Amino acid sequence: MNRKISLGLALTLIIASITATFAITMTAAQKIYNGLISNLSSRAETYATIENINTLVRANYYDYKSIEDAKINLSISKGYINGLGNPNCRFLTASEYIDYKRKLEGNATGVGITAAWDNGNKSLAVTDVAPGSSASSKGVLKGDIIKKIDGKKITSSNYEELFKMLEGDNLTTVDITCDRKNETKEFKVTIGYSLVSVSGKNIDGIGYVRISAFYGNTQSQLKNTLNSLKNEGVKGIIFDLRGTSDGSVEYAAAAVDCITPVCSNPDELLVTLVGRNNNIIYQHASASNDLNLPMMILVNGKTSGPSELFACDLRDFEKAKLIGTTTSGVGTAQRALTLEDGSAVILTVAKIMPYKSDSFDDTGLLPDFEVKLAPEDENRIGLISDEKDLQLQKAISELAA
């Protein structure tokens, strides 16, 4: 039954409603206003402190003429990011950011040589040669002594300057003269090359695949390596992720997609990146690839971030078991955010949610088979023989059973 109310009562109710709404709105606005004032006050204090330091330095620092504003600004920028206390966050200069982007896509600068000056022998010795680099393909070896670069003799006073000719990303060639056991070697190397993040070998019918990073070209390298091993008729695959932390979660998910079938549930994804307000930043669904071979994954305390996702997803799909020690527990994803001058900050922006498991952030992944290496071999993975590698041998025995 409808009940009529007087015009006066109706107006009274309307006014009361408006008053209540205004009061609520003003309360909310006041909270926002107070928050802004507090934030502005905090910022003002920070700026005032920096300006106070600057004034004191300019007025009292003995060597004030040597002050370089660019260096101070760089230190302030790096200090701000360091102050977050997150080891996964960092500040990059414009040139560092360019190198960062290239590396993430799987492209490296230089010719692939690492060298060190030997004071005792007064010589520049090659300490490492990157796989897949121009130096590697031309035959430069670890232990070679660099005598000349582009015809200029190496000395203690010029080796740093001359070695810079082997850096950068320009597609130019550089001549290198090396000594190797009293024999002179000439090499013509090219600056700039594609990083090799996947390598494989056949160990008595078991495929061994080492993944050192998850870059833009890792998926294609992984496909090629797996196809080669399958053509050799291997009866199982061992993925070695020990010490692997470089790359991105997106590229790790792409690598997983080489191996796993389509998710049975459309709501299940290889990875979901969840931002600070529970917003979805990134998702990766699986394709129709499916590697039907038994698998084992080698992990340790330095298996981190993207590689933890790779290991977790394969285990979630019941494709593989983990052998080794608990992983590092970096279950967050980072993004590069650029500044106006071309520099950038790498910030943690999301939590990694794998296929089915809960987040492994802080906890890491517990291995299905805990196997520890001898203490003297912990930092020599890749250098010790297959026979002395207890974790590798456990994986081989499990796949051979």
- Residue 398 in this model has a pLDDT that exceeds 50: yes
Q: Token digits for 178?
A: 């090396």
What is residue 349's DSSP assignment? E
Look at residue 324 and give its three-state secondary structure: strand
Q: Which domains does the chain have, with CATH numbers?
A: 108-194 (2.30.42.10), 198-400 (3.90.226.10)
Least confident of 42-51, 66-75, 279-288: 42-51
Pair type for strands 206-211 and 237-240: parallel
Entry pTM: 0.80
Q: Which of 211, 210, 202, 209 is nearest to 233 (CA)?
A: 202
> pLDDT value at position 38?
56
Taking the C-alpha atoms of residue 82 and residue 102, their distance in angstroms, rounded to an integer, is: 24
Does residue 30 carry a pLDDT above 50? Answer: yes
Of residues 111, 93, 271, the one with CA closest to residue 188:
111
Which tens digit of pLDDT belongs to each residue from 252-310? 999 999 999 988 777 789 999 999 999 999 999 988 788 999 999 999 999 999 999 99
Task: Give phi and psi for 312, each to the nearest 5.
Answer: -65, -45
Mean per-residue pLDDT for 330-352?
96
Question: Concatenated DSSP letters for 231-262?
Answer: HTT-S-EEEE-TT--EE-HHHHHHHHTTT---
Tokens of 265: 């549930």
Confidence of residue 27 (pLDDT cuts 50, 70, 90): low
Alpha-carbon gap, residue 14 to 17, rounded angstroms: 5
Query: How confident is residue 149, by pLDDT bands cut at 50, 70 and 90?
Result: very high
Which secondary structure element, helix H or strand E, spans residue 7, and what is its range?
helix 7-60
Distance CA 70, CA 401 (A): 63
Nearest to 140 by CA among 116, 115, 121: 115
Nearest CA-CA partner of 311 in 322, 300, 302: 322
Please, are residues 332 and 348 in contact by the beta-carbon 8 Å criterion?
yes
Residue 305, sorted as left (phi over 0), alpha (psi -120 to 50) or beta, turns out to be: left
What proportion of the chain, given as a percentage, has pLDDT over 70? 89
Average pLDDT over residues 238-252: 97
Among positive and negative, which fits the CA dihedral 203, 206, 207, 210?
negative
Q: How many CB atoms lie within 10 A of CB 168?
A: 14
pLDDT, residue 1, reads 42
C-alpha–C-alpha distance, residues 208 and 195, integer Å = 19
Q: What is the mean pLDDT of residues 197-215?
A: 96
Q: Are 220 and 200 in contact (CB under 8 A)?
A: no
- The pLDDT score that the predictor gives to residue 9 is 46
What's the CA gap between 220 and 144, in Å, rounded? 32
Is residue 3's pLDDT more than 50? no
